[in-house]
Amino acid sequence: MDLKDRIAVITGATGGLGSTLTRELAAHGLHLALLGNNAAKLEMLAKSLSLPESRLFTHNVNLLDLPETKSTAEAILAKFGQIDILLHVVGGWTGGKTLFDAPAEDLAFMLNQHVWTSFHVIQAFVPHMVKNHWGRVIMITSPSGVRPSAKSGLYAAGKAGQEALMLTLSQELKNTGVTANLLQARTIDVKREKVSAPSPDNSAWTTPEEMSAAILFLLSDEAAAINGAKLPMFGSYS
């Protein structure tokens, strides 16, 4: 698997999964466009990578603003000349209340975080991959999207919407050389608790390193036939 010199866009780059992905892809020789909503955290992450300026682009962007997202894509193209990979790993959760008690603004937050940001990055970045006849789009979702539990309806609605967009995209990308796939995680174990303190409660959690390994495979040429998949990354959880 040779990904050297591919151009990868990572949204939510400073998060627990995003920062692990960033370091993994840097080690494989990719050029990185790191997007986030905290300029200070982006700067810290960029410094920690010790990459030459020619391999790195960082930008603070509001993904709820489509024109701003599209202008960010144009800036990345101006620097690197193409876009090959979109890893949309922006997270966010709200829950713990029944549908009778949940405030409407919480639903708006979940739809913004998972549906609208996904829609905007698809519109801003994916057409450039189609033009080059090669690309990989990967997003993170949850089994809650199709099997919501009590008091998780708002999060489930956001993830279900994100899944619908990506599965539709996968059909629209057939025969283009671009694929769109989903990884499903119950909980991303940023603190690696299932390793340091294993228990029945965290046995189905997924570490960022496990997610990164799966993503690296989906980015490879060997995974070109995988399109429209929902890869479960939650062990025996049911």
pLDDT of res. 236: 58
CB 33 within 8 A of CB 87: no
Q: Do residues 136 and 86 make contact, with C-beta atoms less than 8 angstroms apart?
A: yes
CATH topology of domain 7-232: Rossmann fold (3.40.50)
| DSSP secondary structure code for residue 188 in this structure | B
pLDDT of residue 238: 46
| DSSP bridge partners of 56 | 32
**Alpha carbons 41 and 92: distance in angstroms, whole number:** 17
Tens-digit pLDDT profile for residues 121-154: 999 999 999 999 999 999 999 998 888 999 999 9
Least confident of 21-30, 130-139, 177-186, 229-238: 229-238
Pairing of strands 56-60, 85-88: unpaired
Band of pLDDT at residue 229, cut at 50, 70 and 90: very high
Q: pLDDT for 69-93, tens place per residue?
A: 999 999 999 999 999 999 999 989 9
CA atoms within 13 A on the CB side of 123: 15
**Reported pTM:** 0.95
pLDDT at 191 over 80: yes
In whole angstroms, how large is the CA radius of gyration of the chain?
17
Q: How far is CA 12 from CA 16, 45, 101, 203, 204, in A?
A: 9, 12, 30, 25, 23
HSE (CB half, 13 Å, CA atoms) of 129?
Answer: 29
